[in-house]
């Protein structure tokens, strides 16, 4: 299977990422969050403007996940201290279950190892059982819990998961 990470570096790509995020989030989180919270979070964290700011001001890197020439999802990461923070990993519903997430994590392990980092960590909605199970299959373990106030009366109720790299 041919899978690559294609860096998003232009405003046009940020627009495409935001559109993909809207589609995936509305499907993925409809059973976990209210429509108004999904809309709020998309506007705050996954609009084209928010993505551009994260890349240009906060050190994030965004990538389209491209499998066999088709964009099937996206991922975002940031190197912090001795770890790689996996901020986003989303696969379109029509292609979930094909092993793409595990392949992406393998590529992120390569990035982390090249940078001589000690771990990869992420936050995941504590009620997103499918995502938690997928991360566990890739070797992540739950290390903590975190509730984050994101404004407008909303919180993110997450597990922190980590993959130790040796």
Encoding tokens for residue 19? 């559109």
Q: 97 pLDDT exceeds 80?
A: yes
The pLDDT score that the predictor gives to residue 79 is 97
Question: What percent of the chain clears pLDDT 90, i.e. is strictly above it?
Answer: 94
The pLDDT score that the predictor gives to residue 166 is 75
Taking residues 110-114, report their average pLDDT: 96
Q: What is the mean pLDDT of the chain?
A: 95
CATH code, 74: 3.40.630.30
CA–CA dist 162, 76 (Å, integer): 16
Say whether 1 sits in a helix, a strand or coil: coil
Q: 2 pLDDT exceeds 90?
A: no
Contacts of 137 (CB under 8 A, 6+ apart): 102
Split into its structural domains, the chain has a count of: 1
User: pTM, whole model, 2 decimals?
Assistant: 0.94
Categorize the per-residue pLDDT at 1 as very low, low, confident or very high, splitting at 50, 70 and 90.
confident
Domain coverage including residue 24: 3-164
Q: Please report the beta strands in the chain, taking only residues with DSSP state E, as ranges in sequence order.
A: 3-7, 61-67, 70-80, 83-91, 119-125, 141-151, 154-164
Q: What is the pLDDT of residues 17-72, one digit of tens each?
A: 999 999 999 998 998 999 999 999 999 999 999 999 999 999 999 999 999 999 99
């Amino acid at each position: 299977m041919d899978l690559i990470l294609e860096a998003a570096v232009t405003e046009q790509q940020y627009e495409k990422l935001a559109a993909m995020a809207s589609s995936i989030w509305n499907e993925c989180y409809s059973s976990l969050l209210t429509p108004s919270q999904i809309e709020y979070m998309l506007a705050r964290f996954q609009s084209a403007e928010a993505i551009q700011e994260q890349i240009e001001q906060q050190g994030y890197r965004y990538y389209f996940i491209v499998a066999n020439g088709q964009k099937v999802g996206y991922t975002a990461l940031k190197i912090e201290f001795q770890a790689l923070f996996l901020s986003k990993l989303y696969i379109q519903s029509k292609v979930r279950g094909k092993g793409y997430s595990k392949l992406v994590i393998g590529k992120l392990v390569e990035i982390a190892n090249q940078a001589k980092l000690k771990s990869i960590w992420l936050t995941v909605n504590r009620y997103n059982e499918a995502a938690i199970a997928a991360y566990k299959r890739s070797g992540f373990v739950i290390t903590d819990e975190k509730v984050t106030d994101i404004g407008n009366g909303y919180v993110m109720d997450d597990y922190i998961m980590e993959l130790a790299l040796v």
